[in-house]
Every structure is written in structure tokens, then in C-alpha cells.
Chains A and B, each alone.
Chain A
Amino acid sequence: MAVRVQLWDFDQGAEIDALSKGNGDVGAVVSFTGLVRDHYEGAPIDGLELEHYPGMTEAALAEIEADARARWPLAGVTIIHRYGPLRPSDRIVLVVCASRHRQAAFEAASFIMDFLKTRAPFWKKEMTADGGHWVEARESDEVARLRWMQP
């Protein structure tokens, strides 16, 4: 049960292992890693600047984790999100879910990412030679979040 918002990189292998070590009831571990691409909206970029709202970011991620745990039987959840200057191919975010069987782990990881993309207070600025441009939110992310809201 870890939610971390941090400047520095994380070791995704170690984080995945940590969710199954010592718990023989875990039969499934699913992970998602978000990476910085080297192009945004068709143009090459030097990197990203990731801004966040200290205090609210941790609270928002903790709330998303609690929602996931309420919906699925999860043995463990880890959410790590970086902020600050990032370069192409850098890791931005890690979501790991552990459960007894795979359906809960797959669905919870997908749910967490759909909510993180639309509710966690981070803002990306793509950095190019001629300055920086704020990335715009995508309607497809909001649509992805809403599909979990069906009764």
C-alpha cells in the first residue's frame, strides 16, 4: 500500500517484487509504467516539465487507490508518480496491483490509470528548442474514466 510522489526515478523491478514477496497468497501481479515519448503532437521534444500540487497529489492518488481497493480484492497496490524535469524515455509513473487471481489485478491497474489521468493534479509542459508548450488534456481520457461509472 504505497503512494509516492517524487522527483527521482524508481526501480520498477524492485517495486513489482515487493508486492509479492512474503505473501504466498498473491498469484497475480500486474504493472503499468508510463514513459516520456520523444514526440508530442507530431513534433520532437527535448523533454517534459511535470508540475504538481503538493498535498493534493498524494491525497488524490491515495483516494484513487482506496477506490480500487473497495472495488477489487487486492493484496497490494503501489502508485509512484514523478514530477520535475524528465527526458525522453524516462519513467513517469508506475502502477502495480497484486491479487490472488489476475482479473482483479488487470482491472484495478486499468482503473487506477484512468482515474489518475483525469484526477491527479499534475500538468505536463513539453520542452522544445523554441520554448515550452502545455500539454492539453484529452477527452479520450475523460471517456475512459467514465466507463467505470456505469451502475
Chain B
Amino acid sequence: MRVLYFAWLRERIGTNAEEFDLPPEVTTAQMLVDWLRARGPRYEAAFANLTGIRVAVDQRHASLSAPLAGVREVAFFPPVTGG
């Protein structure tokens, strides 16, 4: 599974994309966040405040409860500021 990071999340983690073989017990976006936070202090800092974080699953806006079965790409980012 590809995990993408944007804006200040990308800066805190230090990369914009990673590929993972997720353990089978990681079945939702929220569980993916928990699993990422456990990877180290940069992830912990990036995901410290989940109210300021949005998620997209296969390039569509989703919530943290979104299931990950069959998903190829998950992206985490702050609320958008285009336009």
C-alpha cells in the first residue's frame, strides 16, 4: 500500500510517499495512523493532533473510519487551502 503525505505532514515526517506491507490487523485509516505513529517520533509529531488531519483513500476524500480492504493508496494532509 502506498501512503502519501502533503504539506506540513510531509515536512514533519520527512518524505512524501512510502510503500508498506501492512499487517492484516490494520483494516482502517485510523488504525493505519496508529500504526504509523508507532514507527517513530517524526510520525508521532505529524499525527499528534488528528483534528487537523484529513485523509483520502484511492484519491477520494474519506474519514478515518474508512476501511482499507482493496485500497492501493492512502493520503494524509491538512485541510486544503487552494483557490
Residues of chain A at the chain B interface (Cβ within 8 Å): 34, 50-53, 55-56, 59-60, 81, 92-93, 113, 116-125, 134-137
Q: Which of A34, A50, A121, A136 contacts B77 (CB 8 A)?
A: A121
Chain A residue nearest in CB terms to B11: A134
Determine the distance from Cα of A51 to Cα of B79 in the docked complex, in whole angstroms: 13
Q: Which of B6, B8, B79 contacts A53 (CB 8 A)?
A: B6
Q: How far is the CB of A134 from chain B (nearest CB, A)?
A: 5
Q: Does B49 contact A (CB under 8 A)?
A: no
Q: How far is the CB of B55 from chain A (nearest CB, A)?
A: 11
Decide if A50 touches B75 in the complex (CB within 8 Å). no
Contacts of B80 in A (CB 8 A): 117-123, 137
- The majority secondary structure among interface residues of chain A is mixed
Q: Which of B60, B75, B83 contacts A122 (CB 8 A)?
A: B83
Determine the distance from Cα of A134 to Cα of B78 in the docked complex, in whole angstroms: 10
User: Could you list 27 examples of A-B contacts with CB < 8 Å?
Assistant: A34-B83, A51-B6, A53-B59, A53-B75, A53-B77, A55-B59, A56-B75, A59-B59, A60-B61, A81-B83, A93-B82, A116-B83, A117-B83, A118-B80, A120-B82, A120-B83, A122-B81, A122-B82, A122-B83, A124-B81, A124-B82, A134-B8, A135-B81, A136-B78, A136-B79, A137-B78, A137-B79
Decide if A123 touches B83 in the complex (CB within 8 Å). no
Contacts of A125 in B (CB 8 A): 7
Residues of chain B at the chain A interface (Cβ within 8 Å): 4, 6-8, 56, 59-61, 75, 77-83
